[in-house]
Amino acid sequence: MKIAAIQLENCLGDVVRGFYEAEALIRKAHKEGCVMAFLPELSSCGYIPNENIWEHGEPLYGPTIKWLTGLSSELKMMIGAGFCECDGSDFYNSYVIANEEGQIDGIVRKMAPESYCFRPGNTLPIIETKWGTIGVGICADSHHIWFLKRLEKHAPDLIIIPHAWAIPKGLEKRVSPKDLDQIEKDITNLPRIYANYFGVPTIFVNQVGEFPTMQGIMGKFMRSDTFRLGGHSQIALPGLEENVLDTKEGLLVRDIDLTEKKPSVSMYPSHQGWLHPGNLFIRLIILPLEIDRGERYYRKSKKRHQIASIFKKIMDASQ
């Protein structure tokens, strides 16, 4: 079968533009014979790593899922998309897959989300479909060994790792040529680690374009004027050479076979609990402080409570 990775330009809250550009590429994939197409993390509203993301929250069966189920039913395709989910109390960085009948096969919530913006997810990292078990690791989740080991318990037939992975625009004080080279390797190697470890096709689908201001301490390190969303979407097959997009919006199509798993490898890279190397000071000191600080901000935020309460009233009125 043919599947597609849809690499989108970050729409920054312009949901109509996000749907329009995504649909154009999905229809192109359909014409090329694809039976599945997958969009990046937070594809419907764009990646906004600060509290402004709450303004684009949606209840279940809101605009994104209505658009997704309608399109999947029309084209008889399986389609996956990311959106900002609001349950009337909390916000989640969620990923949903709709099947060919226009029904929702399942939703996965990011377990290690942007702590200032979202509550950690409480779902299994898999979605059961007629094609088999699909593992879903939303961005940062998939970078950790704990996620790989958790996914291992479910023996996935296909793995999706939707992203909004930011990379430096070029050299600066904190970024050396060695750093740039390593980041290029990391963004290319991550899906191949999963493909080779599990012996199944792995789809890494990333956003491209502007990287908005990130809330918190990490925003000091990853400034919007020096970072961009890095693209490099890939459909990785076990043991085969790379097939990678560049840093522009576009479509990647590849033939896969889900009828038989390929031989897998028993080893994976280990870097302080991560699947790729990184700055020890940031990982061991800054990130734990950042997560704690962000979670406390999220819990106490009056703006979050106000917006969520509006959603709850709308949801209650619609029932």
- Decide if pLDDT at 209 tops 80: yes
Which helix (H) or strand (E) segment holds residue 34: the answer is: strand 34-38
Average pLDDT value for residue range 247-252: 94
Average pLDDT value for residue range 58-80: 95
Buried b / exposed e across 260-290, counting CB within 10 Å, b at 16+?
A: ebeeeeeeeeeeeebbbebeeeeeeebbeeb
Report the phi/psi class of residue 232: left, alpha or beta, with left for phi > 0 and alpha for psi in -120 to 50.
Answer: left
- Decide if pLDDT at 222 tops 70: yes
Higher-confidence position of 78 and 242: 78
Per-residue pLDDT tens digits for 112-170: 999 999 999 999 999 999 999 999 999 999 999 999 999 999 999 999 999 999 999 87
Which helix (H) or strand (E) segment holds residue 219: the answer is: helix 218-221
Tokens (6 digits) for 253: 């199509």
pTM over 0.75: yes
Distance (Å, rounded) from C-alpha 238 to C-alpha 279? 29
Report the chain's C-alpha Rg in angstroms: 19
Where do the structural domains in the chain lie, given as residue ranges?
A: 2-318
Q: How far from 242 is each of 93, 192, 236, CA to CA, in Å? A: 29, 8, 7
Average pLDDT value for residue range 202-226: 92
pLDDT level of residue 173 (50, 70, 90 thresholds): low
- Decide if pLDDT at 313 tops 90: no
Average pLDDT value for residue range 219-227: 87
Average pLDDT value for residue range 297-319: 87
Superfamily of domain 2-318: Carbon-nitrogen hydrolase (3.60.110.10)
Higher-confidence position of 182 and 96: 96
pLDDT for the residue 171: 65
pLDDT level of residue 319 (50, 70, 90 thresholds): low
pLDDT for the residue 58: 92
**Mean pLDDT across the chain, nearest whole number?**
93
